[in-house]
Chain A
């Protein structure tokens, strides 16, 4: 198997993703999660905000999470530009139209709003929360899938 040209199979990539949990805990004592980075960015960009959700959040203390997000950007570059012989598309071509861009933005709003309201995403709930056997994370994960299945079902009825 050529690790450069082929996607890594699930039995390699799945455990490697799972290892992020103990890596973070053992090296830094931090609990794995990504979506809180949106909150920290919000707090960072608006130091004079009146919104308590952003004001009562000490982003400097949580800057490790922003460093994690920055690392993801670099890792994305390395993975695609150095470790793949032929970069592959991540989004369908329709998304480069104006309608597509609006769809992406609005989808992003749902991602940002939803993960903050649910207090976690696929990382914080599905990987970390389930690894920690939290039933709130099981409910969250089931709801993530209900939402995703709704989108794909709706897309087949109304082409949007």
Chain B
């Protein structure tokens, strides 16, 4: 049941990613070349809505529909945030896709994105392999 709900949220998110064209390599290029405000405006308005929601959920101590307390997983700082972040940024501009869009691209019929996905899977494996030796 839980998984059906997240699946449906994924469907919703995938539709918006396609229809807003943030899954497009061309849009990502225009963003990094500062040729278009589209991506920046989307990110800022998404964060605004997300931040307001999180604020209200915390403030009003809203529970889930199942009546459970909501606990947000907190992101912690470590060296990987910087090193990994830059490496991801390099890959993001090359492939035109961050993780969410990779899945949406494949679904949309852009089968070349299977290569991006294969690379990302291999990259995660590489991280798992190097994990004990990397600075964190």
- Chain B binding surface SS class: helix
Q: Number of residues in B with C-beta < 8 Å to the partner?
A: 111
The answer to whether B9 and A51 have CB atoms under 8 Å apart is no
The smallest C-beta distance from B1 to any residue of chain A, in angstroms, reads 9
User: Which residue of B has the minimal Cβ distance to A51?
Assistant: B128
8 A Cβ contacts from B18-61 to A? 18-26, 28-29, 31-33, 37-38, 41-51, 53-54, 57
The answer to whether A152 and B128 have CB atoms under 8 Å apart is no
The answer to whether B88 and A110 have CB atoms under 8 Å apart is yes
User: Which residue of B has the minimal Cβ distance to A82?
Assistant: B15
The smallest C-beta distance from A52 to any residue of chain B, in angstroms, reads 7
The smallest C-beta distance from B53 to any residue of chain A, in angstroms, reads 4
The answer to whether B64 and A29 have CB atoms under 8 Å apart is yes
User: Which residue of A has the minimal Cβ distance to B100?
Assistant: A34
Query: A147 — which chain B residues lie within 8 A by C-beta?
Result: 85-93
The answer to whether B6 and A114 have CB atoms under 8 Å apart is no
Query: B17 — which chain A residues lie within 8 A by C-beta?
Result: 17, 72, 75-76, 79
Query: A129 — which chain B residues lie within 8 A by C-beta?
Result: 75
A14-B49, A72-B103, A76-B108 are known contacts; what are 10 more A-B pairs with Cβ within 8 Å?
Answer: A20-B12, A28-B5, A31-B72, A38-B124, A80-B109, A104-B113, A107-B95, A132-B72, A134-B74, A146-B89
Query: A115 — which chain B residues lie within 8 A by C-beta?
Result: 84, 88, 98-99, 120, 124
Query: Most chain-A Cβ atoms within 10 A of its Cβ — which of B76, B100, B115?
Result: B100
The smallest C-beta distance from B129 to any residue of chain A, in angstroms, reads 6
The answer to whether A10 and B24 have CB atoms under 8 Å apart is no
